[in-house]
Structure 1
């Protein structure tokens, strides 16, 4: 990852406010903090971003987790990055480059495989060879998902209604929702309403015959969530996973040069060129509240930075209960926030491989097949069994896995002839304590799951590093190690995300805005919560 810029201004003494001090403090330097800072700086506002870590990016950073090249730390593919964010901030002008932006999804079963190209016609041809009766159904399904996502685009970009604040604002939110959905054909709108809370497993089981296709599609409905395919609301999670259009086609996956950190560097350059400032390695320990309004932040170093506006991209539980404190919050509101569901269930593994494994469709040296998003979820019962174990805090014997080999198409990740593979294993348990032995046992189960589908994978592994949900919680400060900060369940979406009184990116305290993954519309590497919070702030101040 490129060297990040640091704030070189003199720290302010407690209570001091220099004449050129910031108008807005952004807490957190992950993708949403970066996007928020870039939008605010683009509007000409004086903004400083404060990040506790030594590098920008948060869970989308790149670092040397293993001896050798830079790799993405947690998130490892771009799927939900919105084209509007890329265009508004001019990210390609600031260095965003993809080593591959049309990465196919390859479903791996025990003795079978299926390549789902982002081109629906190519995917249909591949499905026809495996399960002829599923081919036309898949094309119709992809078209439906594309239309639903296009119809939902306006909903996701617009502020949801603030249910606790009835009046003109609520009426305007409902009007925007109606306008956004009006473009959907009636049949699609009926489908969306009918299936918004439907389990993704039920939908794919109804539409398709192939167990491999059912399991591979359902995987995207539970990745990042503490849920089984049979749980209500997982179809909405599936739509979120297939939301963006990296290559101009809905549902495509891409890999930025330098990993996800390369994307974060581009966003920071877009912010810095407009004058945004950055403080690295200094943790915010308190949001200053005066007269029921945000007034700045206190840092772990003992310093204070004063500003009339604060935009937090941390998890809502952290923002409200730790940085603000219950003494400044309504008792019922604080109690609700403390009960937000956030039980992480994704483990991140990074492998060093001696050469590329022989993956389905590989050419003579295996390099062509290295380009792919490989999913190990052979059928729906496989996913259900894995979740059943995690429910009781037990690691599944057969985890479902998504892995990619970025060094197959990013030469900066090759070193000494070795490749790097990154994997997300779902339904990993959150445990109070993780040890070398518990991490190793889970890594062995993941390797075994992959090796059952790719026979030479295990013998190529030279090193592996594992982050369980508990490790992710400690490393990145996200409650429960949850990738979306709070669960993506129907009761924590849209006007309820993260709370009816903190929806539309506005906190129930003056001058405080919420732009993290726990805010509308969802987590992932989309930048949309940060964008929404920045635009809400600008609108409220008359700076839009």
Structure 2
């Protein structure tokens, strides 16, 4: 058994863990990052699944990565480049019509007007409402949440938040509360009349969530998708040239340029604790690394219940961690194609068109989503699942051989636990059903498939170490956010063990490729010295 010493050790080379490592290394710390897999990135990776096809296996689009991280770490110097999507979405409907939306406001107005002139006039006002709320909420992403039950410092922070909230005025404050706590569907029903528009927007309210748009909490998930920016333009999502792994690789390169050491194929088996302080970590092969500071990019279940001994944690803390909801109902299907989908609603005859640039939705109305959730609620995969498809090769020719394409399918709903069967027995049947639906909207799709990889929730857990296959490292409901993430009393990235921190999506502000969790954790670690 060998031992080496560092100033800080990061468990997991997910993008958040890499951000923490990079900022600590910039401050002069001797940093070690330990990653279980053979590559860095966690759920933000690019992998050559089939010869010549470079696939963003998990995360697939970007907008939320914090601009200060891109600036501070000089990520563009290390290969980070965004490719903005315009149009941003395309939704074909069974009656042969379609809705295209994007940053081009005139185009979006005309498209919505095909279904409702009233909605076309209301949509800019809806976006303005979200922007007003974002102006209040977005700065909180990079703030350490105060403890409502803490000392004077926390009370001062809460007071400042209260004054900021009061400054919104009654109307905007009411809208902010509804966005934070409410369901997406009532909001959309109040703003719009065309089901085609409401269904298209509603897809953003449920991606990664074990809930339909009628459930409280989905409005915040919806809001999550209108924050962020692409090349300085707010609310625009894009692809990352070279796939999502470029995000992680550029952060890793920045960290290494400042002296951080990154080891892959290094599976941590235990967090070492002595006299209430963290002492380092031990790999499963017995190798030990010592450090007075350890930050875990893993979720709370893995960090506290798998990598630690119960005797090192307060029983009430462990009880809170065991209550965290990791329900998941999302399946990722990565597909290699020999031609782009030829949508009946807007044929392209094998060529790339604007309909392929953004997210392609199969979701005719909100009831369709509700029925899909009903299946999952009773332990079945949805017979008519909601499909969210993206084809980064429409804008990035580095990902596939000439003329070939990669389609990313993010599918709702399919629960972790299936009633009376297993995912090993069902995942190909589920994928076949998804492909049958695609065939209805884009004839010839099934014949265009060269390869596919189906990743249901249990496989997400196995591949990426995320409990329950939950891509957010835990529920994003109000009771699990801000001052209550991961649990009440420990939202400041610290844990009951001195020197042990959380730096991944288990901490505020939660899931999404934004890097804020890692940035905030690094700031608190540096503050502690």
TM-score by length of 1: 0.92
Q: CA 1:172–1:508 in 2, change beyond 3 Å: closer, same or farther?
A: farther
* 2:255 corresponds to 1:267: no
Alignment match of 1:170 (pick from 139, 154, 160): 154
What's 2:9 paired with? 25
Q: CA 1:26–1:186 in 2, change beyond 3 Å: closer, same or farther?
A: same
What's 1:9 paired with? none
**How far is 1:196 from its partner?**
2.5
Alignment match of 1:454 (pick from 416, 427, 442): 442
SS at match of 2:472: coil
* 2:327 corresponds to 1:343: yes
Query: Alpha-carbon deviations, 1:73-95, whole Å to 9, x = none?
Result: 11111132122221222211221
What's 2:412 paired with? 426
Alignment match of 2:317 (pick from 333, 341, 345): 333
Structure 1 CA distance for aligned equivalents of residues 33 and 456 of structure 2: 28
Structure 1 CA distance for aligned equivalents of residues 242 and 68 of structure 2: 22
Alignment match of 1:96 (pick from 53, 59, 80): 80
What's 1:470 paired with? 458
Structure 2 CA distance for aligned equivalents of residues 229 and 54 of structure 1: 38
Q: CA 1:502–1:515 in 2, change beyond 3 Å: closer, same or farther?
A: same
Alignment match of 2:429 (pick from 434, 438, 441): 441
SS at match of 1:76: coil
SS at match of 2:489: helix
Does the 8 Å contact 2:179/2:223 carry over to 1? Answer: no
* 2:261 corresponds to 1:277: yes
What's 1:517 paired with? 505
Does the 8 Å contact 1:68/1:415 carry over to 2? Answer: yes
Structure 1 CA distance for aligned equivalents of residues 77 and 342 of structure 2: 37
**How far is 1:288 from its partner?**
0.6
SS at match of 1:413: coil
Structure 2 CA distance for aligned equivalents of residues 193 and 463 of structure 1: 45
What's 2:65 paired with? 81
Bigger mean CA deviation after superposition, 84-93 or 397-406: 84-93
Structure 2 CA distance for aligned equivalents of residues 38 and 182 of structure 1: 37
Query: Alpha-carbon deviations, 1:461-507, whole Å to 9, x = none?
Result: 23221000111011111110000010111110110111012212111
Show the 5 A alignment for 1:352-371. Answer: 352-359=336-343, 361=346, 365-369=350-354, 370-371=356-357
Structure 1 CA distance for aligned equivalents of residues 182 and 424 of structure 2: 39
SS at match of 2:213: coil
Structure 2 CA distance for aligned equivalents of residues 83 and 129 of structure 1: 36
Does the 8 Å contact 1:107/1:213 carry over to 2? Answer: no
**How far is 1:234 from its partner?**
0.8
Structure 2 CA distance for aligned equivalents of residues 393 and 145 of structure 1: 35
**How far is 1:388 from its partner?**
0.6
Structure 1 CA distance for aligned equivalents of residues 433 and 371 of structure 2: 14
* 2:359 corresponds to 1:373: yes
Does the 8 Å contact 2:53/2:336 carry over to 1? Answer: no
SS at match of 1:235: helix
Does the 8 Å contact 1:342/1:487 carry over to 2? Answer: yes
- Runs (4+) of structure 1 exceeding 4 A deviation are 179-183, 360-365, 432-437
Show the 5 A alignment for 1:197-236. Answer: 197-236=181-220
Structure 2 CA distance for aligned equivalents of residues 385 and 527 of structure 1: 34
Structure 1 CA distance for aligned equivalents of residues 86 and 162 of structure 2: 33
Alignment match of 2:2 (pick from 13, 16, 19): 13
Does the 8 Å contact 1:146/1:250 carry over to 2? Answer: no
Q: CA 1:314–1:382 in 2, change beyond 3 Å: closer, same or farther?
A: same
Alignment match of 2:127 (pick from 131, 142, 157): 142
**How far is 1:48 from its partner?**
0.9
Does the 8 Å contact 2:314/2:496 carry over to 1? Answer: no
What's 2:372 paired with? 386
**How far is 1:236 from its partner?**
0.8
**How far is 1:63 from its partner?**
0.5
* 2:23 corresponds to 1:39: yes
Query: Alpha-carbon deviations, 1:429-453, whole Å to 9, x = none?
Result: 2137745541111101211233333
What's 1:154 paired with? 139
Structure 1 CA distance for aligned equivalents of residues 253 and 169 of structure 2: 41
Query: Alpha-carbon deviations, 1:134-159, whole Å to 9, x = none?
Result: 10111111121122112212212111
What's 2:225 paired with? 241
Structure 2 CA distance for aligned equivalents of residues 395 and 364 of structure 1: 33
Paired residues in the alignment total 524
**How far is 1:401 from its partner?**
1.2
The gaps in structure 1 that reach 5 residues or longer are 1-11
Does the 8 Å contact 2:423/2:456 carry over to 1? Answer: no
SS at match of 2:112: helix
